[in-house]
């Protein structure tokens, strides 16, 4: 089973935004008249940012993997039990509709 193309594009878009953000952060340099100590501190901050970026990238990749597995499992379950899936979706819609209509009547 293939993953939802819309979901895949959205996840790819998030990865691209993260890459752009990392490049922009790497391009920012210390002010022109900064002392050597400030440059050293900035260099160490960039190293820390780099470690944080790597951790964030790893977490994002884990999220993409988990979402892809979830979508694949859902597709398998739906194709295995189509009638049960339709009934569950209908009941969920009724439940959500009743919850939302109950909230709007209290306003």
> 90 lies in a domain?
no
> 86 lies in a domain?
no
pLDDT tens-digit map of 77-107: 999 999 999 999 999 999 999 999 987 655 5
> 72 lies in a domain?
yes
- What pLDDT does residue 33 have? 45
Range of the domain at 25: 5-80
How many domains does one find in the chain? 1
- Pairwise pLDDT comparison (58 vs 6), residue with the higher score: 58
Q: How confident is the model at residue 1 (pLDDT cuts 50, 70, 90)?
A: very low
pLDDT tens-digit map of 17-71: 888 887 777 777 544 444 455 555 555 555 566 788 888 888 999 999 999 999 9
> 91 lies in a domain?
no
One DSSP character per residue, 47-96 reads HHHHHHHHHHHHHHHHHHHHHHHHHHHHHHHHHH-HHHHHHHHHHHHHHH
């Amino acid at each position: 089973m293939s993953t939802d193309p819309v979901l895949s594009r959205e996840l790819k878009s998030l990865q691209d935004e993260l890459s752009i953000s990392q490049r922009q952060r790497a391009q920012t340099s210390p002010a022109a008249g900064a002392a050597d100590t400030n440059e050293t501190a900035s260099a160490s901050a960039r190293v820390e940012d780099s470690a944080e970026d790597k951790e964030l990238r790893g977490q994002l990749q884990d999220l993409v993997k988990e979402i892809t597995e979830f979508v694949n499992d859902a597709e398998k379950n739906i194709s295995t039990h189509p009638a049960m899936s339709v009934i569950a979706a209908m009941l969920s819609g009724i439940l959500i509709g009743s919850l939302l209509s109950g909230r709007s009547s209290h306003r």
